[in-house]
A and B are shown apart, each in its own frame.
Chain A
Amino acid sequence: MDLFEYQGKQYFARYGIPVSPGGVADTVDEAVSVADQVGYPVVVKAQVQVGGRGKAGGIKLANNEAEVRQHAGAILGMDIKGHTVHRLWIEKASDIKEEYYASFTLDRSKKQHLGMLSAKGGVDIEEVAATDPDAIAKIWVNPVAGLDEATVREWVKAANLNPEANEGAVEILLKLYHCYIEGDATLVEINPLILTPDGRVHALDAKVSLDEAARFRHADVWDTFEGLEPRDERERAAYDLGLQYVGLDGSVGIIANGAGLAMSTVDIVNQVGGKPANFLDIGGGANADHMANALSVINQDENVRAIFINIFGGITRCDEVAKGIVQAMQRVNLNSPLIVRLDGTNAQEGRAILQQHESERLIMKPDMLSAAQTAVEIAGGKA
């Protein structure tokens, strides 16, 4: 789960990382009331999960109530790279002397935690990494050993921040590591981390991604922050049913078992000239309920003209899948024909079950390629 900036700041605050005083506003009046509370000048910030908010006009400084009204009114409802702004974060404006970058993430290649600190903050760090890699001080933390203060001091020194910032940076980085580990985050990022003219260091932005697999350890955090992620209607319905679904914009609905096969199915539909409407991994136990749920989600998608079900039974047994398809067809009034390919565990039995129901609404194909071609043909090619 990716947190919005304001959630990230609330999350940071739990771990004692200094952030600017501020509050959330969903209307212009709320924005004014928050601004009155924290005191002027304030920064009005669009809460969307996409980079480049500032350039798009989604971050504005306001010196008085009139300016808050003007900016909040302009930013609420604004479209930033396809994300509509529904919420603002209003915070006390900070004087900035210098801007830094700090983060922890999991380095999959080195299989350790990676800490990055740079004196060149406030900009796209990937650009810094590409153009001036030496400007980023990196440390790898072996999770068995953990991170101690002495190592952080060395690391901060290596980053060549303004020496005035060193003490504050050490303190914040230790806290940042703590919240990364304790909260099972996959990313914690502060960009910019700022030094103020009076020598304080604090977080001006917050980017936090939490590991869904670890939510059982963090029920309170998930309860607080969940449910606000940007999802389209189809994705919302699928998520509520516990399906691995990603909405795309084509006309061939896709159901497959296993993420790899589902991706491969999206690919092959594209390859034979079609446009997939979605990615849907129905997972291991594809029983009738799962199948009915998956079909009902895809059925709500008005663009769908054909549904390609691609199952390779390993964990999943094809006879169970076949029964699920038959039952689902009875439960869900499908707008599009099904094109089914079954192989693997109990494929013979599965095909035998489907054969009894074969029609122009339920077409069976012996392999992935011919099934994709048929599905695309029925969906009307690239339409």
Chain B
Amino acid sequence: MAIWVDENTTVVVQGLTGTQGRFYGLMNRDYGTKVVAGTNPRKAGTDVDGIPIFATVKEAVEATGANTSFVIVPAQFAADSVLEAAAGGVRLIVCVTEHIPAHDQALMYNRLKQDYPNVRLLGPNCAGILSPGKANIGFTPTAVSKPGGPVGVVSRSGTLAYQALYELSASGIGQTTCVGIGGDPVPGTSFIDVLAAFEQDPETKAIVMIGEIGGSAEEEAAEFIKDNVTKPVVAYIAGVTAPPGKKMGHAGAIVSGGKGTAQAKMDALAAVGAKVAQNPTEIGDLVKQALAELG
């Protein structure tokens, strides 16, 4: 088992004909992901390394049965592409595009919620989703992952998710699914959504959650864990020593007025029983410990 993507996932790549889209679309296919279609209204009827290109997501879904979209298009087109995917009939949209204006993100989120409540959006500005051995959509380097579970990983940051996979695999611990939710102000999927899915997934025995300064998503996740998550959680929060008021790259990563500090997030997670790593290299040992305690 895994969450949201597995061997039955069929992917249409919006942006497959671009340089980035081609690189990652084919990289994902090479891993074994069923990449069945691409879209580009001006290149319909052509193909990218044997993958057929359609004018719209709707046509791609009708022709190939794709159930998931991978959105890798420039920021000014991304919100429209996400809504097109939802209208086209996929159930999961993975949007890796960064620098989408915050207002576009808010509009896109609320439009999806209102008109397509059953469609899940991952991202924007996320690294993607990997169920090791089954499917990979996005940027995640699969070489550092290990199939077979039993750990689910969820992270705002891409590189820290890779780091966590690496630490787990080096400790001989496999993963069920690694979910990047992205560091932007209005993510389609929150920590809570992922925690709930991992809690439901019988193969996931423990959860690694990687957050960072800014916003209150980690505090809200802690609140959720208290009442809804029985599986052990190992957490790491980046930005402990970030100076307040400075924007640390991700649009979301900014501490303002003492709110959203790493310490506050770590305290909130520790208070609900999560094991909190002081740096990413501790993640492997803490998960080992958590799994040992399960017996």
Residues of A within 8 A of B (CB): 106, 108-109, 111-113, 126, 142-144, 181, 184, 186, 211-214, 216-217, 244, 246, 248, 256-264, 266-268, 270-271, 276, 279, 281, 312-315, 343-345, 367-369
Interface string of B227-261 (1 = CB under 8 A from A): 00000000010111111001111111100010000
A selection of 12 A-B contacts at a CB cut-off of 8 Å is: A111-B186, A144-B107, A144-B114, A214-B103, A259-B248, A260-B157, A260-B183, A267-B238, A312-B166, A343-B166, A344-B162, A367-B281
Judged by a CB distance under 8 angstroms, whether B118 is at the interface is no
The answer to whether A267 touches B162 (Cβ under 8 A) is no
| Residue in B109, B160, B185, B240 whose CB lies within 8 Å of A260 | B160
5 tightest A-B contacts by CB?
A: A260-B157, A259-B249, A258-B159, A214-B101, A261-B159
Expressed in whole angstroms, the Cα–Cα distance for A184 and B236 within the complex equals 33
Expressed in whole angstroms, the Cα–Cα distance for A315 and B140 within the complex equals 8
| Residue in A211, A214, A216, A256 whose CB lies within 8 Å of B159 | A256
Closest Cβ of chain B to A158, distance in Å, is 23
* Shortest Cβ distance from A343 into B: residue: B166
User: Which positions 197-220 of chain B face chain A at CB distance < 8 Å?
Assistant: 210, 212-213, 215-217, 220
**Hey, which chain A residues are within 8 Å of B162, CB to CB?**
312-314, 343-344
Judged by a CB distance under 8 angstroms, whether B278 is at the interface is yes
Q: Assuming the A-B contacts A109-B215, A263-B213, are A270 and B159 also in contact, with contact meaning beta carbons closer than 8 angstroms in the complex?
A: no
Identify 11 new A-B residue pairs, CB closer than 8 A, beyond the known A112-B110, A246-B248, A260-B210. Answer: A143-B107, A144-B114, A258-B159, A259-B249, A260-B156, A260-B158, A261-B163, A264-B239, A312-B163, A313-B162, A344-B141
| Residue in B143, B186, B212, B239 whose CB lies within 8 Å of A344 | B143
**Hey, which chain B residues are within 8 Å of A281, CB to CB?**
248-249
The answer to whether B257 touches A126 (Cβ under 8 A) is yes
The answer to whether A258 touches B101 (Cβ under 8 A) is no
The answer to whether B110 touches A142 (Cβ under 8 A) is yes
The answer to whether B248 touches A262 (Cβ under 8 A) is yes
Q: Max chain A CB contacts within 10 Å: which of B156, B159, B210?
A: B159
Expressed in whole angstroms, the Cα–Cα distance for A186 and B185 within the complex equals 10
Expressed in whole angstroms, the Cα–Cα distance for A112 and B246 within the complex equals 24
Q: Max chain A CB contacts within 10 Å: which of B100, B157, B217?
A: B157
* Shortest Cβ distance from A256 into B: residue: B159
The answer to whether B159 touches A260 (Cβ under 8 A) is yes
**Hey, which chain B residues are within 8 Å of A111, CB to CB?**
106, 109-110, 186
Closest Cβ of chain B to A147, distance in Å, is 13
Q: Assuming the A-B contacts A181-B103, A211-B101, A260-B210, are A108 and B252 also in contact, with contact meaning beta carbons closer than 8 angstroms in the complex?
A: yes
The answer to whether B141 touches A266 (Cβ under 8 A) is no
Q: How many residues of B contact A (CB 8 A)?
A: 60
Judged by a CB distance under 8 angstroms, whether B226 is at the interface is no
The answer to whether A369 touches B281 (Cβ under 8 A) is yes
Expressed in whole angstroms, the Cα–Cα distance for A370 and B104 within the complex equals 42
Closest Cβ of chain A to B169, distance in Å, is 11
| Residue in B140, B213, B240, B279 whose CB lies within 8 Å of A314 | B140
**Hey, which chain A residues are within 8 Å of B157, CB to CB?**
258-261, 263-264
**Hey, which chain A residues are within 8 Å of B238, CB to CB?**
260-261, 263-264, 267
The answer to whether A314 touches B241 (Cβ under 8 A) is no
Judged by a CB distance under 8 angstroms, whether B43 is at the interface is no
**Hey, which chain B residues are within 8 Å of A211, CB to CB?**
101-103
Expressed in whole angstroms, the Cα–Cα distance for A258 and B103 within the complex equals 23
Q: Max chain B CB contacts within 10 Å: which of A112, A214, A217?
A: A214
Closest Cβ of chain B to A339, distance in Å, is 16
Closest Cβ of chain A to B110, distance in Å, is 5
Closest Cβ of chain B to A319, distance in Å, is 13
The answer to whether B159 touches A314 (Cβ under 8 A) is yes
The answer to whether A244 touches B249 (Cβ under 8 A) is yes
Expressed in whole angstroms, the Cα–Cα distance for A258 and B140 within the complex equals 13
The answer to whether B102 touches A186 (Cβ under 8 A) is yes
The answer to whether A184 touches B103 (Cβ under 8 A) is yes
| Residue in B100, B106, B155, B281 whose CB lies within 8 Å of A143 | B106
| Residue in A126, A186, A279 whose CB lies within 8 Å of B242 | A279
Judged by a CB distance under 8 angstroms, whether B92 is at the interface is no
Q: Max chain B CB contacts within 10 Å: which of A108, A266, A268?
A: A108
The answer to whether B155 touches A270 (Cβ under 8 A) is no
**Hey, which chain A residues are within 8 Å of B75, CB to CB?**
213
The answer to whether A106 touches B106 (Cβ under 8 A) is yes
Closest Cβ of chain B to A126, distance in Å, is 6
Closest Cβ of chain B to A241, distance in Å, is 15
**Hey, which chain A residues are within 8 Å of B242, CB to CB?**
263, 266, 279
Q: Assuming the A-B contacts A186-B102, A314-B127, A315-B139, are A263 and B212 also in contact, with contact meaning beta carbons closer than 8 angstroms in the complex?
A: yes
Expressed in whole angstroms, the Cα–Cα distance for A107 and B238 within the complex equals 22
**Hey, which chain A residues are within 8 Å of B159, CB to CB?**
256-258, 260-261, 312, 314
The answer to whether A262 touches B140 (Cβ under 8 A) is no
**Hey, which chain B residues are within 8 Å of A126, CB to CB?**
257
| Residue in B220, B250, B253, B279 whose CB lies within 8 Å of A368 | B279
Q: Assuming the A-B contacts A314-B162, A345-B143, are A259 and B183 also in contact, with contact meaning beta carbons closer than 8 angstroms in the complex?
A: yes
Judged by a CB distance under 8 angstroms, whether B119 is at the interface is no
| Residue in A108, A144, A217, A260 whose CB lies within 8 Å of B250 | A260
Judged by a CB distance under 8 angstroms, whether B144 is at the interface is yes
The answer to whether A260 touches B155 (Cβ under 8 A) is yes
**Hey, which chain A residues are within 8 Å of B246, CB to CB?**
246, 279
